[in-house]
Structures are given as structure tokens and as C-alpha cells.
Structure 1
């Protein structure tokens, strides 16, 4: 496959209807050679029909990412202008009822996946003096109820990205953490139908929990989100943290000016946690 001289972007996790899908289309509209990854079971017509390069790759597997690196190198002349670490999964559960095996799977994708991508692709990024874009979340900032493990994975990604930014700057590579608000995607699909375990101390909230995991947020659209992210990502020197999506303004403002415990009372009311108090 012959290389080309167009700017290039590699985006992980581009399933139909998600953030990655929207980002791929937005980058393509800006004249980028777009390379997208999917898992083996995911359909690809939503990307290939648009002329986007698509490869099957699991960010938890070294062999997949090494093979992907070879393919990308042949397309981009051994350069990569932008790497978007978007692949992610969600696990929703109370902190005390957490299934650690489920969390391990989530960290393998949400945290170790971006680490693996940068480990394999950093030579191409250095060659292009490119950008790394990590898709983070307001969950990594505030104690969003039932999201302790997901929040922890995003907080880890943010802080890894912070240090990566410092270390990559002398090599000419920029790193931006996207602090995402509520975006209408399919990331919650793994949680649909999830229930509290038998005997959970949160049993009085089992109906509320079921409604939460089956919710369909009415929020920023993937297309609106992608337009904002791409506008920042294509800059030669993007902001270290870029906040975008529903709720990010209040979270950012509150994180700076309000005490940490402000969120405790807010989420207690939102999630009706007072039902747990003994009479």
C-alpha cells in the first residue's frame, strides 16, 4: 500500500454511532488520512463506505498493535500526525460491590490501551512532531455515583497524560487531555441490564440503579463533540486540558472554586442516597 503526504490521524475505538465514528468523519472532512480501529466482532461499513482505512485491533494485545503499527507506517510514510486514544469501556457499580475482574478488563482498555498505543507509535509521532489526544472524562474529576471504577480509570488516564505531555515536549510531540462531558454515545451498552448483587447494602436503591444503567442521556451529540475536539486536536500546540461537552462548564468551575465535599451533597441528592440512612 503506497504512502501519501496528507496529514494522518489514527483513532482507536470507532464503533458505529460512537465518539470514534464521529471523530473519524470530522477529521476526514478536514483533509486527513483517517485510520480507524475496530474489534473483530464490530461491523465496518460505516467507515469503509466513506473511504476510511479500517483495521481490526484490540488495544489490550501487543501483537495487534505491532501489526497495526506496520500497516499505519505503510500508509503514512512512517509518520503519524495525531493519535487519538478513544477506545474505552464503562463499568457501573457501587464502590463496595465492585467486581475487580471487571475493573481489570476496563483498565486494560481505558488506561493500559493508551499506554500501549504510545509505546508502539511514538516513533511515528516524533517523526511527524505530532499530537497525542487522550479522551478523558469529567468522571475523572468529580465523584460521580456508581462510577468509582470508571472514574478511577479516567483519572489515571488524565495523570498519565500529564506526565506524558512533559516527557514528550522535548521530542516535539504535544499531548492533550480531552475532559469530556456527557456525550450521547453507546459506551453504556455493556451496562444495560446490570443489577446490584444479591445482599448489597444498596438494595433500597435497586430500582434507581436499574434506571441509571438503562438511561439514554440527552446530551451533546457525537457530531458536536467531534467538531470541538478536532478543532483543538489539529492545532500545533493544543491546550494541555480541553474541556468540552455537556456539564463541563459547571464541573470545571466547581473544581476550581468549590470545596471537594460540595459534590458529595449534590450527588447524594441526585442519586437519592438518603434512602440508605438507617432510621
Structure 2
């Protein structure tokens, strides 16, 4: 069943709602609170997990301008030209040492993680301004700390955080709130792209002494904050009249926030060198 918004039904549009991911969990939580929820998926992704909870699904790629323009037209008809919440959730990961970065791979990731939210806001902001709504960017502690093998992904999230900061200031005169969600590690399938490709260190990499450890890192199954627990905290914050500009939630965010606020920047160097066994490279 698809939700049928009325003038009193709040609406939420969430990008990147593949099964088992953060977007899926957020869609379910918004529905639990009575929102009319619109979710985007890629053409190859199933829709049953969303339709069965009353979420309206749309095939739309955030890197495709025509897709998003069509999406705005379709949603605008249903909501009568308003949108209460836009959640920029679509994202992909790219795991590799910074020195082994392949630029085409990073360009693909930035197209989703950074330019995707920019495109969504550019196209949907009139609907959000009309409702004096909220824009929510799903960020990461990776955008705060130098998480090893994640330099490019970290950079994409740092860019999203700081773009969102300026957007927040610029949208205030219109009564629109902008929230950066600083996410800890959540048990989702964001690593599936790296895992499906069998990501390995390239021939000649200076990190080859850690090749087995790197492959184990790519193949790991995060077992931290469950998506539904994460979604409850995020939606509760978004529903506040005045949500936080930066909302930290998920595993390890308290520790990250403390170290980033009170300790020297190079504290992370010592921690990550030890945790990832980088001292082996000195031999």
C-alpha cells in the first residue's frame, strides 16, 4: 500500500533505501510515526521490503539529473508541492590506502556521496522551503577521523559535513533546518560494493606486507549498532522542533567526539597505527 498524504500528514523523502540499509530502517521508523514516506532505489534493487510497510518507492539514481527532476514532479503532485523532510542517505564506500587511490573510483563515490545530496537539494529545495521543512545529511565519523584505508570515503563525508554546515546557515532565513548526522559504524551493507569486487591491494602497493589484513578488513561484517536502533535515535532527533545542527549517534561516536574535541589531532595517528598494525611497515 502506498501512503496517501493529506494536508496534515507529514512527508519524508529518503534516498538510498536498499534492503537492510540505513535508508530502509529510516523509512520504517518514519512510517511508524505516521509519515508518508517516499523512498528511492536503484533499478536492480527489490522493493518488497518497503512496499510491505506502506512506503512509496521510486527508481531514481541520485547521480542522474533527469531521474531526480522526474521524482520531484511525481512527489510534488502527491504532496501538493511540499516536502517536510529530505534525508540524503544514498552512499557507497571505497576502501583502499590513500596512495593506491584510483581516481575514477573516487569520482563514482563522490557522485553519490557528495554531488547526490547537492543535486537533491538543488531540485527539491522549493518544496522544502514551502513546508519550512528539514534537510538531513547522513554523515559519518569517517568525516571526522583519519580512519585507515578510508581516505577517499572520509573525504566525501567531510565534504558533505561542511557543505551541510553552510547550507544550514543559508537556509535559516527560510525557516528550513539542516542536520548533519554523524554516524558511528552501523550494521549495514555499505561494504557490499567493495566486497563484491573482491577489493585487493594493487600490484606494487607499499602496503603489500599487510595484504591479508587489508582483505580481512574489506571482508569484515560490522556488528555494532543495529540499523533499527540507529534509525530510532535519528528520527527522534529530526522530529524535534529545533534539532541539533550535528547529531552524533551510533557505535563509538561518544569516544570519537571526546577525542576530537579535547585531545591532540595526532592522537588518532597513534591509535590507528596500533589498531591496524601499521608498525609492520617499518620493518
Q: Normalising to structure 1: TM-score of the pair?
A: 0.98
Aligned to 2:76: 73
Secondary structure, aligned partner of 2:163 = helix
Q: Distance in 1 between matches of 2:61 and 2:242?
A: 29
Aligned to 2:112: 109
Aligned to 2:6: 4
Q: Distance in 2 between matches of 1:103 and 1:152?
A: 10
Q: How far off its partner does 1:3 sit?
A: 5.2
Whether 1:206 aligns to 2:211 is yes
Q: How far off its partner does 1:139 sit?
A: 0.2
Q: How far off its partner does 1:236 sit?
A: 2.2
Aligned to 2:232: 227
- Is there any run of 5+ residues in structure 1 with no aligned partner, and where? none
Contact 1:57 1:65 in 2 (8 A): yes
Q: How far off its partner does 1:4 sit?
A: 2.1
Return the match for 2:175 from 172, 191, 197: 172
CA-to-aligned-CA distance 1:21-43 (integer Å, 9 cap, x gap): 00000000001000000000000
Return the match for 1:43 from 43, 46, 53: 46
Contact 1:3 1:77 in 2 (8 A): no
Q: How far off its partner does 1:76 sit?
A: 1.0
CA-to-aligned-CA distance 1:185-236 (integer Å, 9 cap, x gap): 0000011121000110000000000000000011000000000000011122
Secondary structure, aligned partner of 2:171 = helix
Q: Distance in 1 between matches of 2:212 and 2:10?
A: 49
CA-to-aligned-CA distance 1:71-104 (integer Å, 9 cap, x gap): 1101111110000000000000000000110000
Return the match for 2:269 from 245, 258, 264: 264
Secondary structure, aligned partner of 1:187 = coil
Q: Distance in 2 between matches of 1:164 and 1:153?
A: 16
Secondary structure, aligned partner of 2:191 = helix
Aligned to 1:240: 245
Q: Higher mean Cα deviation, 190-199 or 80-89?
A: 190-199
CA-to-aligned-CA distance 1:57-79 (integer Å, 9 cap, x gap): 00001100000001110111111
CA-to-aligned-CA distance 1:227-258 (integer Å, 9 cap, x gap): 00000111222100000000000000001001
- Is there any run of 5+ residues in structure 2 with no aligned partner, and where? none
Secondary structure, aligned partner of 1:4 = coil
Q: Distance in 2 between matches of 1:233 and 1:77?
A: 22
Aligned to 1:15: 18
How many positions carry a matched residue from both structures? Answer: 278
1:122-137 aligned within 5 A: 122-137=125-140
Contact 2:5 2:36 in 1 (8 A): no
Return the match for 2:98 from 92, 95, 99: 95
Secondary structure, aligned partner of 1:225 = helix
1:145-184 aligned within 5 A: 145-184=148-187
Return the match for 1:142 from 133, 141, 145: 145
Q: Distance in 1 between matches of 2:276 and 2:235?
A: 34
Aligned to 2:221: 216
